[in-house]
């Protein structure tokens, strides 16, 4: 645990008169796993976009590996939520991983053994080496997510940004994804910012939690944030937090009525009935 990989200082974001969050100070150091929780419209997606340099802040700063967040930063590996890929897409698993290395560069590129080796290494790291040559559209949702993780880590970024990567995956695949992300940060000291609706799949790995709600937030360890007292104060209504058999169940979280709708937030709403 050492230097800061992602630093938000005095960060604020407003759309018109509505403040999504403000006064956000967060320092994620190398090897740290931080989960971001919050209801729809609490600004999880906006936070991701700010870190990616796609959303300017209203106030404060975002720094990734010491420099201000900007579009296309090579310091970030981005794992999005699972989406269906057309079966006829002319890409094999290894080609998709290759996009993470040089998909943003102009021109057509040329054959490069060093490039091939890095791609193979990334695929092996996520246990997807044996389907390197299989068309991406023929892989299952869970297999595709492995490939996306390989794509995110192939350039060796110090920060992994995971934006609801577990959505629409079965439990087994969810476990695979979380294990892989955790293993990467342990073996390569990668910092992880993991946006999720559901804390339980990442519970064994999380160092700290950032809970966004009502234009404000709480940061701390799971025990510090996910308890009846803190969440009731955060939401301004009584919220029950129950721990049972290694799981956390949060009941009574009000739906954000005046939320800013983000596409990812809206369709994720139907998937997970109990929010943590």
Partner 1 sequence: MTVLASGSDVSWSQIFNFTDYGSLLSLVQNSIIAGALLGVVGGLLSTFVMMRDLPFAVHGISELSFAGASGFLLAGWSVVAGSIVGSLVAALIIGALGVRARDRNSIIGVLMPFGLGLGVLFLSLYRGRAANKFGLLIGQIVAVDDSKLTTLASVSAVVVVGLALLWRPLTFASVDPELAAARGVPVRILSPVFMILLGLGVAMSVQIVGALLVLSIVCTPAAAAMRVTSSPALVPLLSVAFAVTSMVGGILLAVGASVPITPYVTTISFLIYLVCRGLGVLRARRATGAVAAA
- Angle, vertex CA 156, rays to CA 192 and CA 98, nearest 5: 115
Q: Does 134 bind partner 1 (CB under 8 A)?
A: yes
User: By CB under 8 A, is residue 142 in contact with partner 1?
Assistant: no
List the 18-29 sheet strands across, edge first. 18-29, 4-15, 59-64, 67-68
Report residue 205 as tokens. 């790995």
With CB under 8 A as the contact rule, the residue among 63, 102, 121, 207 that binds partner 1 is 102
Nearer to partner 1, 54 or 221 (CB): 54
271 binds partner 1 (CB under 8 A): no
Q: Is 105 in the site for partner 1 (CB under 8 A)?
A: yes
65 in contact with partner 1 (CB under 8 A): no
Told to check if 89 binds partner 1 by CB under 8 A, we report yes
Q: Which of 6, 41, 95, 276 binds partner 1 (CB under 8 A)?
A: 95
Does 78 participate in binding partner 1 (rule CB under 8 A)? yes
Q: Are 250 and 175 in contact (CB under 8 A)?
A: no
How many of the other CB atoms lie within 10 Å of CB of 276? 24
18 lies in the site for partner 1, by CB under 8 A: no
Q: Which residues contact 1 (CB under 8 A, 6 or more apart)?
A: 29, 30, 31, 32
| E strand segments, 96-170 | 159-163
The residue from 42, 73, 190, 268 that contacts partner 1 (CB under 8 A) is 73
Is residue 69 packed enough to be buried (19+ CB in 10 Å), middle (13-18) or exposed (0-12)?
buried
Q: Does 60 bind partner 1 (CB under 8 A)?
A: no
Binders of partner 1 among residues 161 to 190 (CB under 8 A) are: 161
Query: Nearest approach, Cβ of 88 to partner 1 (angstroms)?
Result: 5
- Give the integer Cα–Cα distance in Å for 61 and 59: 7
Tell me whether residue 10 or residue 103 sits nearer to partner 1 (CB atom).
103
- Cβ distance to partner 1 smaller for residue 84 or 246: 84
DSSP 33: E
Strand partners, 163: 195
Closest approach, Cβ 126 to partner 1, in A, equals: 14
According to DSSP, the residues that pair with 243 across neighbouring strands are: 248
Query: Is 94 or 185 the residue whose CB approaches partner 1 more closely?
Result: 94
Contact between residue 151 and residue 100 where contact means Cβ atoms under 8 Å apart: yes
Binding region for partner 1 (CB under 8 A): 52, 54, 71-73, 76, 78, 80, 83, 85, 88-92, 95-96, 99-100, 102-109, 130-131, 134-139, 143, 148, 151, 161
């Amino acid at each position: 645990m050492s230097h800061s990989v992602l630093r938000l200082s005095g960060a604020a974001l407003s759309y018109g008169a509505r403040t999504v969050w403000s006064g956000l100070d967060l320092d994620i150091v190398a090897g740290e796993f931080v989960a971001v929780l919050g209801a729809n419209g609490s600004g999880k997606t906006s936070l991701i976009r700010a870190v990616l340099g796609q959303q300017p802040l209203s106030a404060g700063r975002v720094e990734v590996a010491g420099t201000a967040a900007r579009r296309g930063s090579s310091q970030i590996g981005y794992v999005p939520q699972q989406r269906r890929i057309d079966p006829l897409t002319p890409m094999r698993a290894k080609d998709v991983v290759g996009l993470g290395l040089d998909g943003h560069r102009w021109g057509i590129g040329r054959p490069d053994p060093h490039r091939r080796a890095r791609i193979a290494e990334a695929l092996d790291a996520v246990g997807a080496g044996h389907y390197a040559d299989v068309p991406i559209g023929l892989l299952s949702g869970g297999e595709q997510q492995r490939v996306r993780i390989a794509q995110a880590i192939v350039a060796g970024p110090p920060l992994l940004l995971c934006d609801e990567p577990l959505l629409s995956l079965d439990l087994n695949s969810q476990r695979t994804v979380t294990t892989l992300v955790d293993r990467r940060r342990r073996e390569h000291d990668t910092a992880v910012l993991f946006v999720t609706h559901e804390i339980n799949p990442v519970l064994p790995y999380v160092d700290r939690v950032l809970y966004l709600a009502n234009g404000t937030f709480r940061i701390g360890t799971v025990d510090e944030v996910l308890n009846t007292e803190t969440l009731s104060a955060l939401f301004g209504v009584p919220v029950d937090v129950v721990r049972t058999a290694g799981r956390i169940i949060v009941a009574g979280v009000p739906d954000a009525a005046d939320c800013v709708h983000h596409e990812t937030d809206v369709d994720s709403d139907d998937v997970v009935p109990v929010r943590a």
